Amino acid sequence: MDALLAALLPILTFGTLAALVLGTGLGIVIGALPGLGSVVGLSICLPFTFGMGTVPALTLLLAVYCGSVFGGSISAILINSPGTPQAAATTLDGYPMAQRGEAGLALGYATVSSVIGGLISCAALIVAAPQLARFATRFGSVEIFALIVLALTCISAVSRGNMAKGLLMGVLGLFLALVGTDPVTGAARFTFGTQFLSGGFDLIAVVIGLFALSEAFFRVATGGARSAEVSGTRMRLPRWRDWKGRGGTLARSSVIGCLVGALPGTGAATASFISYAVAKQSSPRGDRFGTGEPDGIIAAESSNNAVTGSAMIPTLALGIPGDVVTAILLSALVVHGITPGVRLMSEHLDVVNAIFGVLILINLVMLALAFPLIRVFGKLLAIPQHLVTAGIVVFGLLGALTVRGNPLDAGVAVAFGLIGLVLRVTGFPLAPLVIGLVLGPQFEQNLRRGLLLNDGNFLAFFTDGPIAIILFACVGLAVLLPLLKPSGG
């Protein structure tokens, strides 16, 4: 009870509550509009957080994230076009239900499942993160180095395209993090004599470029997303008797979402498809999956929203972001003067408790906001896509300009926007690059400290202790397992 009060008290301010409601609403809208997605949504909202306090800033970003994951289900059900990749599995049964005239009920199942999945995920986060953080205090430089290598390997292994591309992007991200002044000796590295590069690349400018601006460029180059037409729909919550025999699917899928979400690089889309497949096998109505069976919606939506909380477990407990969204959240922490890492939970417990409380409230606010936002969904879809594209560019430039107040950061963002466009068109995954850039400084610091402690002998890392041995063994497995799979191109 004391912990709950400690979590809720910092949130109960006007600024934080306003950020919570506005962020959730905006997130649902962004998620519902096909083609934008959580990362672009967060990139657009980042500049607004620079002038805020730490807790309202994180609240806004978390609300946009959670809202967008849920929002994707609205367009998935109503127009058969998932607003976000996370909602792709929801189309399989959501749209057939809408075609049968049960769109309101399908949205009701999606909303309730999302909220319950999100709340179960919050519980997992609140229970697991402190335990993991306590365990992580045993980590020394070698263990942290091994952990970063494991995270990068996992993210690269499950990235779009092949593993070599993912690893290449991860290494590129690590390298970019080293550009600037060496923290130990003060020597300039790859600055080419410029003052601007001596501070290194700003993470937020790079993220805005790679995701927001490259999305705008991609839309222009491919003709962009087309507006669809849909009439207004009222959401109808399922009754108690509608849930009969479906509780198992809801609970199982939420747990799968929590477990998948805690693994680096996997994400909500993977979780929802795994849950959908498991539910299809285990549900007594499995033969009806794909024809408008509510169990399919429950499995997909509870699972993808269960990722939102559990993805924060490695982020808060270890300072290791599992995906681009959590990398952006970590960068927001840095902007507000908080250094992410294994000491985050002990040194900034108030912020971590606030995150716990905010995540619970977001799920409740999501339930309340779903009713009015679904009714106006038709009007949201009518927003011309070229105006959305122009908006992405302007918000992207504003975000890059305001983070350090340096106009050259806008140039960095545009350069990375064009680089991001080329990379995504040629199938190079962007997530490992960002994660590498986030983890680069920690990677170098722990590697060099570990080498100093082991007299420069890198091989000693592999026999440093049981935790390091297990982590490096996991790295080996993460590299080898994809190679053992039959090649699918």
Partner 1 sequence: MKRPGEAAVAAGLIALAALAYAASFAAGGGVNAASTDSPMRLPRILLAIWGALGLVCLIRAVVVAAPAEDASFAPGRLLPFAGLVVLIVLAIPFLGYLVAAGVGVAGLLWILGERNPVRGGAAFLLLGPGLWFLFHHVLDLRLPVLLSGGMF
Binding site for partner 1 (CB under 8 A): 47-48, 50-51, 162, 164-165, 167-168, 171-172, 174-175, 178, 182, 184-185, 187-190, 192, 213, 217, 220-223, 384, 386-387, 389-391, 393-395, 397-398, 401-402, 405, 407-408, 410-411, 414, 417-418, 421-423, 425-428, 444, 447-448, 451-452, 455-456, 489
Residue 271: which of 442, 411, 84, 144 has the closest Cα? 84
In whole angstroms, how close is the CB of 57 to partner 1 at the nearest point? 12
Q: Report which DSSP code applies to 485.
A: S
CB 133 within 8 A of CB 266: no
Report the alpha-carbon distance of residue 166 to residue 479 in Å, rounded. Answer: 11
Tokens of 316: 């808060």
The number of beta carbons lying within 10 Å of the beta carbon of residue 8 is: 16
- What tokens appear for 52 in the block? 């805020």
Vertex 31 angle, CA 87 and 161, to 5°: 55
Nearest to 428 by CA among 220, 163, 222: 163
**Least separation, in Å, of the C-beta of 217 and partner 1?**
6
338/398 with CB nearer partner 1: 398
| DSSP H or E stretch at residue 121 | helix 103-136
Smaller CB distance to partner 1: residue 4 or 18?
Answer: 18
Q: What are phi and psi of 142, to 5 degrees?
A: -65, -40
User: CA 471, 477, 478, 479: dihedral to nearest 10 degrees?
Assistant: 120
Cα 226 from chain centroid (whole Å):
25
- Closer residue to partner 1 in complex, CB, 335/374: 335
Q: Give the shortest CB-52-to-partner 1 separation in angstroms.
A: 9
Question: In the bound complex, what is the minimum distance in angstroms from residue 44's beta carbon to partner 1?
Answer: 11
Please identify, using beta-carbon distances, which residue of 387 and 484 lies nearer to partner 1: 387
User: CB of 176: closest distance to partner 1 in angstroms?
Assistant: 10
Closest separation in Å from C-beta 71 to partner 1: 22
Instruction: Pick the closer one to partner 1 by CB: 239 or 386.
Output: 386
Query: Looking at beta carbons only, is 176 or 365 nearer to partner 1?
Result: 176
* Helix, strand, coil fractions of the chain, as percent rounded to 5: 75, 0, 25
Kindly state the smallest distance separating residue 369's Cβ from partner 1, in Å: 23
Give yes or no for a contact between 36 and 45, defined as CB atoms under 8 angstroms apart: no
Nearest partner of 103 among 259, 232, 219, judged by Cα: 232
Residue number, 249 or 389, with CB nearest to partner 1: 389
